[in-house]
Amino acid sequence: MERNLTADEFEKFINEKKATILDVRESYEYAESHLENSKLVPSSNFWAHFDDLKLEKDTPIALYCHTGSRSMYILNNLLESGYTNAVHLERGIVDWYGQNKKLVR
């Protein structure tokens, strides 16, 4: 399974898998714009917020940040923790926006 997705692949994963979308940026970034139906789970305190979601290990999880660095780090942590159906937006919300995809502002 490919884990590093382009904007089009990420959108397809979200729609087909009915994925839980997690924005791992900080609250001020989320307030500026975010993907529709995404939940803010900042990478700076990820596990404290993530554990509250009580997701099953096989839940489809779609992670994104600004450029893909933080979401890649979190993706690797989730995989190491046994989550089997997680992906991330390889170039972050910058790529999503660059592809003229819908954002909540």
Q: Where are the domains of the chain?
A: 4-98
* Residue for token pair 């900042």: 42
How much is the pTM?
A: 0.97
The pLDDT value given to residue 1: 87
CB 66 within 8 A of CB 25: yes
Model pLDDT, residue 97: 96
| Second CATH level (architecture) for the domain 4-98 | 3-Layer(aba) Sandwich (3.40)
Q: Which of 77, 22, 69 is nearest to 49 (CA)?
A: 22
pLDDT tens-digit map of 39-73: 999 999 999 999 999 999 999 999 999 999 999 99
Q: How far apart are CA 38 and CA 80, in angstroms?
A: 23
